[in-house]
Homo-oligomer: A and B are copies of this chain.
Amino acid sequence: MGGEDVVYLGDSARVPYGTKSAETVRRFATEDLAFLLKYDPKLVVVACNTASAAAFDVLRAVCPAELVDVIRPGAAAACRHASGPIGVIGTEATIESGAYQRAIAEIDPGREVVVRACPLLVPIVEEGRDQRDPIVLSVLTDYLREMQRRRPVAIILGCTHYPLLADAIGKVMGPEVKLISSAAAAAAEAQRRLTMTGAVSPRAAGGRLRCFSTDSPQRFRRLGEARFIGGARTIDEVCPVGTDELETAGKELIETDGSAPRESPKRAGQ
């Protein structure tokens, strides 16, 4: 979808969300959405498993645009892959929320699900450790011990950071276990929705990627380009945004929404 313009908000000053209470995550996610809505998007991706798990229903209720989470697309991809147990790894908040367990039960009631919270994996990725580092492998072996015993047919990498450890996770689990990236599944779902609503950009390439960060833009660009984006896109610009600005946007959105329930104007005609 290289022709699409993307506005990306990274709440770097308040991350990680995965170790915080559901109430706080819901508040932060609502503020983040309120900020993005100022850019009048045709579709919003809640590109964080923790926010998707804790806040999707709240966001759905106030978002006039198409809204894609990163939980249900990954759950559906895992169910389609093969019958047998599905493994899910994620942050503490994602696993404790039970969101993946519920999403899989809705798609395929009775499917066996094995879950494991892996709190050290995000800091390991952000530290920049190589996947062949013995510490990475021993932490994964520790987290995945029970998962190995239960022999899932697929494991959902239920956190944005985990695909960066896919080789190491594959090494620990063995080649017969399919690794499902929640990010890739969500991107495919976003494309499907835009296609369905006739909202795909006519350009094949040349879309702009504008980023906003609540912490240092320099740091955001460095980490983003080095660790996450690869060669897929160029970051056209990174602008600072204050958390106070997010809080104000959040309050305005809640007040507006409270006064007049809306009919999701962007959903039908675009």
Copies of this chain held together in the complex: 2
Question: Which residues of A from 190 to 238 have beta carbons under 8 Å from B?
Answer: 214-216, 219
| Closest B residue by C-beta to A16 | B16
Q: With an 8 A cutoff between CB atoms, is A139 at the interface?
A: yes
Q: Do most interface residues of chain A lie in helix, strand or loop, or is the interface mixed?
A: helix
Contact pattern, A 130-155, Cβ under 8 Å of B = 1, otherwise 0: 00001100110010000000000000
Chain B nearest CB: distance from A259 CB in Å?
21
Report yes or no: A127 in contact with B138, Cβ–Cβ below 8 A. Answer: no
| Closest B residue by C-beta to A21 | B216
A215 to B247 CA separation, bound complex (whole angstroms): 15
A→B interface (CB under 8 Å): 12-14, 19-21, 23-24, 28, 119-120, 122-124, 126-127, 134-135, 138-139, 142, 214-216, 219, 243-244, 247
8 further contact pairs, Cβ within 8 A, besides A12-B20, A119-B126, A119-B127: A13-B28, A14-B14, A19-B126, A21-B216, A24-B214, A120-B123, A135-B138, A244-B244
